[in-house]
Amino acid sequence: MTSWITVCRIDDIPLLGSRRVARDKGADVALFRSSAGRVFALLDRCPHKGGKLSQGIVAGEGVVCPLHNWTIGFCDGKAAAPDEGSTPVFTVNLDGDAVQLDAQELATLGTDLPLPLAGPCTRRA
């Protein structure tokens, strides 16, 4: 029995745009709204080098990662050929205009995938 958590209303997500759901553990969950009004959710982490998909340009049913232009499909989280890789997909439920995510997935899906690092912390000691 899925336990749904309401995270926002559909209108909170710009058309052809994205919002992010912050979690205590793991990368954010990126919510996307296609021009047809459908809502999708992916882990906010590109399979290539961990780029934030929520910052990409949305077209059709996919998003282009802002770091190196990989195109990730919303339905399966897979990168478009010939790139290879995929990011976890989160189940979305629409209750009227409330956007809901699966509580179990929010708590556990993709939480141990490492986040990209930058800056002085990456320097060799």
Of 14, 84, 85, 97, the residue at the interface with another protein (CB under 8 A) is 14
113 lies in the binding site for another protein (CB under 8 A): no
Task: Judge contact between 63 and 57, C-beta under 8 A.
Answer: yes
Nearer to another protein, 32 or 77 (CB): 32
Task: Name the strand (E) or helix (H) holding 101.
Answer: strand 98-102
103 belongs to the binding site for another protein (CB under 8 A): yes
What are the C-alpha distances in Å from 21 to residues 9, 81, 90, 116, 120? 12, 28, 12, 18, 27
* β-strands 92-95, 62-64 pairing: unpaired
Residue in 37, 59, 94, 97 binding another protein, rule: CB under 8 A: 59
**Token pair 């929010």 in the structure block, residue:** 106
- Which residues make up the interface to another protein (CB under 8 A)? 3, 5, 7-8, 12-17, 19-26, 28, 31, 34-36, 49-52, 55-60, 64, 66-67, 69, 71, 82, 101, 103-104, 106-108, 111, 115-121
